[in-house]
Amino acid sequence: MARVGIQLLTWNGKKYIEPLVRSLKEQTFEDYDVIVLDNGSDDGTGDKVQAALRDHGLHYLFSQNPSNSGFAMGHNQLFRMHDAEYVFIVNQDLYLEPTCVGRLVEYLDTHHEVAVVAPRLMAWHFNAWETRGEFVADNIDSLGLRVLRNRRVIDWHQGELWTVVQQTLPQEDISVFGVSGACALFRRSVLEQIAYPGRELFDPSYHSYKEDVDLAYRIQSAGYAAATLVSAVAYHDRTTAGQEDSSDRATMMRKQTQAWTVRYHSYVNHLMTLAKNEYWQNMILDLPWILWYEGKKCVYMLLFDRSILKGLAMVWKRRNDWQKKRQHIMRLRKKNWKALRHWWTMYDVHISR
């Protein structure tokens, strides 16, 4: 088996397949297999990805679901299909620079306290790229996950210019709370340790959204670190709105443009992530900020989006499930509440060697 198992979950993304596979073929690091699961595509994505992998001479495993099982369950299936030392999760809407995988592997090889490392994710405006054939944007997609004191989680520096941000980040590696689930290299030994019973990498009840936040909490509380390596670069055509403007008004406007399923799963999974992972001491200390944030959301939903409030009933209905998972997480904890607390107040901490 190759050292790296590239987990590719596809769903109705036919237009992305050729550039993604070509970027994999062009990697300077070659000791990898591609493990593909097509999640019930109806646009020919499954056939397209197999043809592209064959044409570029890449070794791969392929499986197909009859319907869309969601991001979490899809990657759980992929995780159990291989036993590579490193697990590289990639979205279909990515393009990797040739040195991306090699630099990430080298980093984990030399930083044994780090469980996951992500590249510098840059915004990829696919339609413009398809027309001009070049990357012209300098906007950041994500430098990692940042947790605010009210427990809102955002992609750090999203929408900002890299030419500006890099002036404040002279180091190559940045310690982060967690990484975006769009593109990240994980140490399998850690994933096996913190997986839910049944070797579930992600919580299968999540379907999609916030599963990377839940995993970030579990990695941190189990005593491991996460990092972003800015010299490794990938481009991401984000299909959901980001948070360049984090004001209440801007957030409300973005919510109005999102599909109902996105808003619903994001809300339910956010609440379950806190219920499973948070330390009660930190919740008490930050309760005013958390209540203010959650209260504003509830007022908005009461006025404009009452159907999302059904999510509260769903969280209650699933209480036995998430309570068991909380007990599982607590048994694996290696850090106390104080060790995680600094993430709510500081962010750009360099990993000491």
In the chain, the N- to C-terminal Cα span, in Å, equals: 31
In a domain, 352, yes or no: no
What's residue 247's pLDDT? 56
Instruction: Please count the structural domains in the chain.
Output: 2
pLDDT tens profile 225-269: 999 999 999 999 986 544 555 555 555 556 666 788 889 999 999
Identify residue 55 by its one-letter amino acid code: D
What's residue 261's pLDDT? 87
Contact by Cβ (8 Å): 190, 222 = yes
In a domain, 350, yes or no: no
What's residue 239's pLDDT? 61
Q: Are residues 218 and 291 in the same domain?
A: no
As a whole number, mean pLDDT of residues 85-111 equals 97
Q: Are residues 157 and 284 in the same domain?
A: no
Q: Are residues 131 and 264 in the same domain?
A: no
Q: Are residues 201 and 293 in the same domain?
A: no
Distances in whole angstroms, Cα of residue 271 to Cα of each of 75, 208, 274, 277, 336:
22, 14, 5, 10, 21
Look at the alpha carbons of 74, 77, 82, 88 in this order and tell me if their dihedral is positive or negative: positive
The per-residue b/e assignment along 31-59, b for 16 or more CB within 10 angstroms, e otherwise, is ebbbbbbbbbbeeebbebbbebbeeeebe
In a domain, 241, yes or no: no
As a whole number, mean pLDDT of residues 331-338 equals 96
147 DSSP β-pair partners: 153
Q: How far apart are CA 97 and CA 183, in angstroms?
A: 13
What is the pLDDT confidence band of residue 131, given thresholds at 50, 70 and 90? low
Residue-averaged pLDDT of the chain? 91
pLDDT tens profile 18-77: 999 999 999 999 999 999 999 999 999 999 999 999 999 999 999 999 999 999 999 999
Q: How far apart are CA 81 and CA 65, in angstroms?
A: 14
Query: Does residue 214 sit in helix, strand or coil?
Result: helix
What's the token pair of residue 58? 């890449």
Indicate if the pLDDT at residue 201 is higher than 60.
yes
As a whole number, mean pLDDT of residues 182-199 equals 97
CA 127 to chain centre: 23
> Which of 133, 92, 97 minimizes the C-alpha distance to 6?
92
What's residue 347's pLDDT? 46
What's residue 248's pLDDT? 55
Q: Are residues 183 and 295 in the same domain?
A: no
Q: Are residues 294 and 156 in the same domain?
A: no
Contact by Cβ (8 Å): 249, 200 = no
As a whole number, mean pLDDT of residues 190-201 equals 97
Identify residue 144 by its one-letter amino acid code: G
What's residue 132's pLDDT? 67
Q: Are residues 222 and 278 in the same domain?
A: no
Q: Are residues 129 and 276 in the same domain?
A: no
What's residue 169's pLDDT? 83
The count of residues in the chain is: 353
pLDDT tens profile 277-293: 999 999 999 999 999 99
Indicate if the pLDDT at residue 129 is higher than 80.
no
Segments forming the whole domain that contains residue 324: 248-344
90 DSSP β-pair partners: 8, 183
Q: Are residues 284 and 215 in the same domain?
A: no
Q: How far apart are CA 34 and CA 7, in angstroms?
A: 6
**Residue 154 backbone dihedrals phi, psi, to 5 degrees:** -130, 160
Per DSSP, the residues of 54-120 read: HHTT--EEEEEESS---HHHHHHHHHTT---SEEEEE-TTEEE-TTHHHHHHHHHHH-TTEEEEEEE
What's residue 238's pLDDT? 80
Q: What is the CATH number of the domain that holds 52?
A: 3.90.550.10
In a domain, 349, yes or no: no
What's residue 255's pLDDT? 61
Indicate if the pLDDT at residue 128 is higher than 80.
no
Q: Are residues 151 and 228 in the same domain?
A: yes
Indicate if the pLDDT at residue 157 is higher than 90.
yes
> Which of 58, 72, 65 minimizes the C-alpha distance to 30?
58
Q: Are residues 265 and 159 in the same domain?
A: no
As a whole number, mean pLDDT of residues 309-331 equals 95
In terms of C-beta distances under 8 Å and separation of at least 24 residues, what long-range contacts does 309-313 make, across chains too? Answer: 310/264, 311/264, 311/267, 311/268, 311/271, 312/271
What's residue 352's pLDDT? 39
Q: Are residues 109 and 146 in the same domain?
A: yes
What is the pLDDT confidence band of residue 130, given thresholds at 50, 70 and 90? confident
Of 188, 214, 236, the position where a domain reaches its end is 236
What's residue 138's pLDDT? 87
In a domain, 353, yes or no: no
What is the pLDDT confidence band of residue 353, given thresholds at 50, 70 and 90? very low
Of 236, 268, 296, the position where a domain reaches its end is 236
What is the pLDDT confidence band of residue 84, given thresholds at 50, 70 and 90? very high
What pTM was computed for the model?
0.93
